[in-house]
Amino acid sequence: MKTLVVAMVVHESEEGGFWASFPDLPGCFTQGESLEELREHAREAETGHLAVLQERGEPLPEPVLTVEPIAADVHA
């Protein structure tokens, strides 16, 4: 079994709650009322999306987004 690390971008919803997109998985989105619920739904969405790709015989995506932390000086 291969482990694939996929970036999730979290957005606050105007209606309340949160939604997430996955830059490495075009067309894959999910939502949740809380961050905890969003994370649960995200695992399901990601796993389901990848399963469909495999069922269709399509290759697993190569990461297109690299996240690297940087430090910034902030004067408060």
Domain ranges of the chain: 9-55
Please tell me the pTM assigned to this model. 0.74
Question: What pLDDT, on a 0 to 100 scale, did the predictor assign at position 1?
Answer: 62
Per-residue pLDDT reduced to its tens digit, 9-61: 999 999 999 999 998 898 999 999 999 999 999 999 999 999 999 999 998 88
29 beta partners: 21
User: How many angstroms separate the most distant Cα atoms in the chain?
Assistant: 53
Give φ, ψ of 13 to 5 degrees: -85, 140
Listed residue (21, 3, 23) closest to 64, CA to CA: 23
Mean pLDDT value of segment 1-6: 72
3-state secondary structure of 12: strand
